[in-house]
Amino acid sequence: MGRVGDIARLRSVAALVCVSGVILMTASCNGEPPRTQQPAPVSSSPASDGSSCTPAEVARAADCAGLLRTVRQRKSAPIIVTLAVEFTPEGDLTSAAAVQRQRKAIADAQARLIAELPSAGARVTTRFATTPLIALVVDEAALRQLLASSRVRRIQADTPQPPTG
């Protein structure tokens, strides 16, 4: 494969390590221990304090209570949304054209999600180009709309994590 293939392989491994770190730093939204099965790429297990939840968990309001409580108390909160789009680490894609198609699909999904949100209730802080994520600051109405959206795979609080040693 040569140097280009090695670089692509290293990027894939780095992405996997990064996602694994996020998964290990969080616990389950419903109080269960973190999953040992391999999760979907770029998705992390929800936190036990309710700071992360999926749209399917909205029916169980206690699962998302921490995130909703934070938004109510502070009037807004920073979150990271994992979009419900197909995703393959770029290092595993077979061509530059496939990489560009995936990046376009991510950008299009971000744009569609933003268009659904109330402009006064959501502010974009980061659009990720290579992973199906978008960082937002939302109020309660925007958070509830995201929780009901079929375009969303997961929502988690955007909170700093201390480095692990």
* 27 in a structural domain: yes
Predicted pLDDT of residue 5? 54
| Stretch among 33-47, 70-84, 128-142 having the lowest mean pLDDT | 33-47
Q: Based on the structure, what is the number of domains in the chain?
A: 1
Task: Note the pLDDT tens digit of each residue in 84-130.
Answer: 999 999 999 999 999 999 999 999 999 999 999 988 899 999 999 99
Q: pLDDT tens-digit profile of 19-68?
A: 433 333 333 333 333 333 333 333 334 444 556 666 555 544 545 778 88
Q: Is residue 60 part of a domain?
A: yes
The residues pairing with 123 across neighbouring beta strands, listed in sequence order, are 137
What is the model's pLDDT at position 2?
Answer: 56
Domain around 149:
2-157
User: What is the value of pTM for the model shown?
Assistant: 0.65
Whether 65 contacts 50, CB under 8 Å = yes
- What's the pLDDT at 11? 54
77 is written with which tokens? 């909160």
Residue 72 domain flag: yes
Closest by alpha carbon to 165, among 8, 12, 21? 21
Q: In this predicted structure, what is the pLDDT of residue 52?
A: 62
Report yes or no on 77 lying in a domain: yes
The reply to whether 162 falls in a domain is no
- Return the pLDDT at 51: 60
Residue 80: the pLDDT is 93
What 3-state DSSP class applies to 82?
strand
Estimate the share of the chain in helix, then strand, then coil, as percent rounded to the nearest 5. Answer: 45, 15, 40
**Is 163 part of a structural domain of the chain?**
no
